[in-house]
Structure 1
Amino acid sequence: MISNKSINICINPFRSRKRSQVMKVGIVIGRQQRERLFRKETCEQIDALGDVVWAEYDGSGSVEEAVELLQGCEVGVGSWRTPHPGQAELFAACPELKGWIHAAGSVKFIFGNPQVIERKLRVGSCAPAIAKTVAEFTVGALIAGLRRSFDNALANRYGAGGKPDHCRFLATSTIGVVGLGQVGREVVRLLRCFGTKIMVYDPFLTEKEAEALGVGCCGDLLALCQQVDALTLHVPALPQTQKMLRREHWQALSDHAVFVNTSRGVCIDQDSLTEELGKGRLTAFLDVSVPEPLPSDHPLRQLPNCYYSNHIAGGASPLIGEQVYRDLCAWQRGEHFTMEVTVADLERLA
Structure 2
Amino acid sequence: MKTITVQSQLKHYPIYIENGLLDRLNEVIPNEKHVVIIHDDHIPITIVEKVKRALPNHLEISFPQGEASKSLETYHQIMKTLLANGMTRDVTVIALGGGVTGDLAGYVAATYLRGVGLIQIPTTLLAQIDSSVGGKVAINLESAKNIIGSFYPPDLVLIDPQVLATLDPRQFANGMSEMIKYGMIADRALFDQLQKQDVRSFLLDAIVQSVSIKKRFVEADEHDRGIRMMLNFGHTIGHALEAYYHYEKYNHGEAVAIGMVRAIANIGVAEKLKSLLLKYELPTSDPVANRDLLDWIIKDKKNQTGFIRLIDVAQIGQAFIRKVSIDSFQ
Q: Does the alignment reach a TM-score above 0.5?
A: no
- Higher helix fraction: Structure 1 or Structure 2? 2
TM-score under structure 1 length normalisation: 0.27
TM-score under structure 2 length normalisation: 0.28
Q: Which of structures 1 and 2 has the bigger CA Rg? A: 1
- Higher strand fraction: Structure 1 or Structure 2? 2
